[in-house]
């Protein structure tokens, strides 16, 4: 008696005992010394369908089918085949050879065999399921062990700690999308106090990606100690990886060398995402051409350099950030990441803000699509250069529901009040925040509760900065592009020469010291700045406000 799988049926012959004996002796016994003969049946063999539909024991010798398996059963001396059926599925066959008495099987024999098959089939099915579950458990255990090995490989090859460089802040983030990812980063101590920084991405997951990552890191570290120029290092790594790289796999990698004393950063890029540098004027991309590692031998890699001035910061990142999608399928995108680098300082704060903005883009509860890796180098500002990093006091969301502008107003007032902003100026800021939030809810998010307005509040040594962001992009109704705000004129509006709306932005810009608009992808941002001390051109107006209050 042998179980049948869904794709391959194997029958084993047994020589029958004397079925005509008393019930206690009516057992199926093999002939001493006779080994079972396996018979393989193809899935398309007609014998399978016949046995599936048979209502009892089948006389093998009398059966006529164009079946290779049936021919083998006959050649093996099988006389009767008793199908074992459980819940309509053929799960096994009880095969019997000739009786030792050389008599034919009687009707009583057949009834006995049918009863035996009816009782044996469920038990056999249970046994099959148990063996299947055991096999699946062993497979899962092996898979989990492989994942654990790959995870340990990655953990052991990632830097245990980041270097402490005088005048610099170094921060890193590694978030695999699953147990084992394809991203990696490294920091290499070089001669003369220089430091090598590596970020890469293997085009696969699991154990193969972990092994390729380990090999890439080892070869790159060895090459970096022997060669000086980043381009030459990537050339050497590529030549080592090409002969043994698994099919359909390659590695994107950026390697750069920093001289902490001067801020000089030399780099080469093997098909990896472009890094961004934050400067006093904004953010710029660092471009260098080169094929990914492991694809083709004989490749050369461009080498460029930049000077990181005091206050500048550099972001190395993987594509898990820019390729993340929102619920509507829109990617986070390079422009949005570049704008974040331009607006915020470096170090760990930049990493936290990028992750927060990414979370706001993908939405709560969204599954991480790909690995996320970031390495940030920030050069501390020179004393007295005025480039002091702002402090994020709070970030919160306001559902786009009418009346919720007051929630934003009250939250901002509570955060800004302790900073020493005069009462009259605080009320002006509250008015601007309320108006900006209301415009964002109405024009940017169309009063959709599932598209909240994001508010960020920053405290700086001499000013307060509030950002109000919606998802209206650059084509918001009721607002104009920065620098093109239409000054409202009551007579012109009544005459139909101006739009009926447009007072909101005009009011905002006259309530605060500075107001700016920017758009990054679908995000529209209004930035409000209020100095802690009144600026001269608004002193007269504020005096009037104070008089009104009295």
CATH code of the region 159-379: 3.60.40.10
Confidence of residue 476 (pLDDT cuts 50, 70, 90): very low
**Among 223-237, 241-255, 324-338, 358-372, which is the least confidently predicted range?**
358-372
Per the model's pLDDT, the better-predicted residue between 287 and 25 turns out to be: 287
The whole-number pLDDT of residue 522 equals 65
Q: Which string of b and e fits 416-452 if b means at least 16 CB within 10 Å?
A: beeeebeebbbebbbbbbbbbbbbbbbbbbeeeeebb
> From residue 402, how far is each of 441, 442, 446, 479 by CA, in Å?
8, 8, 10, 19
102-116, 192-206, 379-393: the lowest-pLDDT one: 379-393
pLDDT (mean) for 69-78: 86
**SS3 of 197, please?**
strand
User: Is the per-residue pLDDT at 164 higher than 80?
Assistant: yes
Per-residue model confidence as pLDDT tens digits over 299-312: 999 999 999 988 89
Q: How far is the CA of 237 from the CAs of 224, 299, 538, in angstroms?
A: 10, 10, 62
pLDDT of residue 34: 52
Q: What is the mean pLDDT of residues 337-356?
A: 86
Q: Given this model, what pLDDT does residue 180 score?
A: 66
2-132 topology per CATH = Beta-Lactamase (3.30.450)
- Give the Cβ contact number of residue 43 at 10 Å: 10
Which carries the bigger pLDDT value, residue 310 or residue 388? Answer: 310
Give the residue-averaged pLDDT of 142-151.
73
CB 57 within 8 A of CB 113: yes
| pLDDT on residue 543 | 40
Taking CA atoms, 143 is separated from 138, 139, 345, in Å, by 9, 6, 42
SS3 379: strand
Report domain 391-549's class.
Answer: alpha beta
- Asked if residues 12 and 75 have their Cβ atoms less than 8 Å apart, the reply is no
Rounded Cα distance between 260 and 59, Å, is 89
Work out the pLDDT band at 533, boundaries 50, 70, 90: confident
Percent of the chain with pLDDT over 90: 32
Confidence of residue 441 (pLDDT cuts 50, 70, 90): very high
pLDDT 10s digits, 446-463: 998 888 999 988 887 788
Domain boundaries, the chain: 2-132, 159-379, 391-549
pLDDT (tens digit, 9 = 90+) per residue, 188-240?
Answer: 999 989 999 999 999 877 677 778 888 899 999 999 999 989 999 999 999 99
Look at the chain and count its residues: 550
At 261-292, the pLDDT tens digits run 989 999 999 999 999 999 877 889 999 999 99
Edge-to-edge strands of the sheet including 313-317? 168-175, 372-379, 313-317, 276-279, 282-285
Question: Between 107 and 379, where is the model more confident?
Answer: 379
**Whole-number average pLDDT of the chain:** 80
Name the token pair of 227.
């060669």
Least confident of 134-138, 263-267, 290-294, 482-486: 482-486
Quote the pLDDT of residue 549: 47
Mean pLDDT along residues 477-494: 44
More confident residue, 505 or 471: 471
- DSSP-based three-state secondary structure for 443: helix
Best CA proximity match to 415, nearest among 353, 348, 352, 467: 467
Helices (H) and strands (E) in the chain, counts: 13, 21
> Which comes out higher in pLDDT, residue 448 or 347?
448
**CB-neighbour burial class of residue 379 (10 A; exposed 0-12, middle 13-18, buried 19+):** buried
pLDDT score at 503: 53
Q: What is the pLDDT of residue 6?
A: 33
> Residue 274: its pLDDT value, please?
94
Distance CA 272, CA 234 (A): 12
Q: Are 79 and 59 in contact (CB under 8 A)?
A: yes
Residue 521 has pLDDT above 70, yes or no: no
Cβ(362)–Cβ(399) below 8 Å: no
* 10-24, 388-402, 499-513: least confident range: 10-24
Higher pLDDT, 150 or 324: 324
Residue pair 58/11 in contact (Cβ under 8 Å)? The answer is: no
Structure tokens at 160: 């245990």
Q: Which of 469-473, 534-538, 542-546 has the lowest mean pLDDT?
A: 542-546
Model confidence at 504, pLDDT cuts 50, 70, 90, reads low
d(CA 297, CA 239): 6
Helices (H), 228-316: 230-241
Task: Label residue 381 by pLDDT band (50, 70, 90).
Answer: confident
Rounded to an integer, what distance in angstroms lies between the CA atom of residue 98 and that of residue 78? 7
């Amino acid at each position: 008696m042998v179980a049948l799988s869904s794709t391959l049926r194997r029958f084993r012959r047994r020589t029958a005992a004397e079925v005509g004996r008393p019930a206690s002796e009516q057992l199926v016994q093999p002939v001493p010394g006779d080994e079972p003969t396996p018979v393989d049946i193809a899935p398309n063999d007609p014998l399978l369908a016949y046995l599936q539909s048979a209502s009892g024991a089948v006389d093998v010798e009398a059966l006529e089918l164009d079946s290779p398996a049936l021919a083998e059963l006959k050649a093996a001396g099988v006389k009767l085949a008793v199908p074992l059926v459980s819940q309509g599925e053929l799960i096994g066959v009880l095969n019997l050879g000739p009786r030792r008495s050389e008599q034919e099987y009687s009707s009583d024999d057949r009834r006995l065999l049918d009863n035996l098959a009816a009782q044996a089939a469920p038990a056999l099915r249970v046994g099959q399921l148990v063996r299947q579950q055991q096999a699946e458990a062993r497979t899962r255990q092996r898979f989990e062990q492989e994942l654990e090995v790959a995870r340990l490989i990655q953990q052991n090859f990632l830097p245990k700690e980041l270097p402490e460089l005088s005048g610099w802040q170094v921060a890193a983030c590694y978030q695999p999308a699953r147990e084992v990812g394809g991203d990696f980063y490294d920091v290499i101590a070089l001669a003369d106090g220089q430091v090598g920084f590596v970020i890469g991405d293997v085009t696969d997951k699991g154990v193969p990606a972990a092994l390729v990552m380990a090999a890439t890191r080892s070869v790159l570290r060895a090459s970096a100690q022997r060669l000086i120029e980043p381009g030459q290092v990537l050339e050497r790594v590529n030549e080592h990886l090409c002969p043994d790289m698994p099919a359909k796999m390659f590695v994107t990698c950026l390697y750069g060398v920093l001289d902490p004393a001067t801020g000089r950063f030399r780099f080469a890029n093997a098909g990896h995402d472009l890094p961004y540098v934050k400067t006093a004027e904004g953010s710029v991309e660092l471009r260098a051409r080169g094929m990914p590692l492991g694809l083709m031998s004989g490749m050369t890699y461009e080498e460029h350099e930049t000077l990181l001035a005091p206050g500048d910061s550099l972001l190395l990142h993987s594509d898990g950030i820019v390729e993340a999608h929102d619920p509507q399928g829109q990617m986070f995108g390079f422009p949005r990441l570049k704008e974040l680098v331009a607006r915020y300082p470096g170090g760990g704060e930049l990493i936290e803000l990028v992750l927060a903005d990414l979370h706001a883009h993908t939405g709560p509860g969204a599954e991480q699509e790909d690995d996320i890796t970031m390495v940030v180098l920030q050069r501390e500002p020179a004393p007295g250069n005025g480039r002091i990093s702002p402090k994020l006091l709070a970030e919160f969301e306001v559902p786009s529901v009418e009346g919720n502008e007051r929630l934003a107003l009250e939250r901002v007032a509570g955060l800004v009040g302790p900073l020493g902003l005069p009462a009259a100026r605080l009320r002006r800021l509250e008015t601007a925040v309320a108006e900006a939030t209301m415009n964002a809810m109405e024009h940017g998010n169309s009063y959709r509760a599932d598209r909240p307005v994001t508010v960020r509040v920053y405290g700086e040594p001499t000013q307060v900065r509030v950002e109000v962001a919606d998802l209206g992009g650059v084509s918001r109704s009721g607002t104009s592009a920065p620098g093109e705000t239409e000054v409202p004129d009551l007579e012109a509006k009544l005459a139909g020469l101006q739009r009926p709306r447009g007072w909101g932005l005009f009011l905002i810009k006259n309530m605060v010291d500075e107001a700016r608009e920017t758009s990054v992808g679908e995000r529209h941002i209004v930035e409000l700045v209020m100095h802690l001390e009144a600026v001269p051109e608004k002193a007269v107006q504020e005096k009037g406000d104070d008089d009104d209050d009295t």
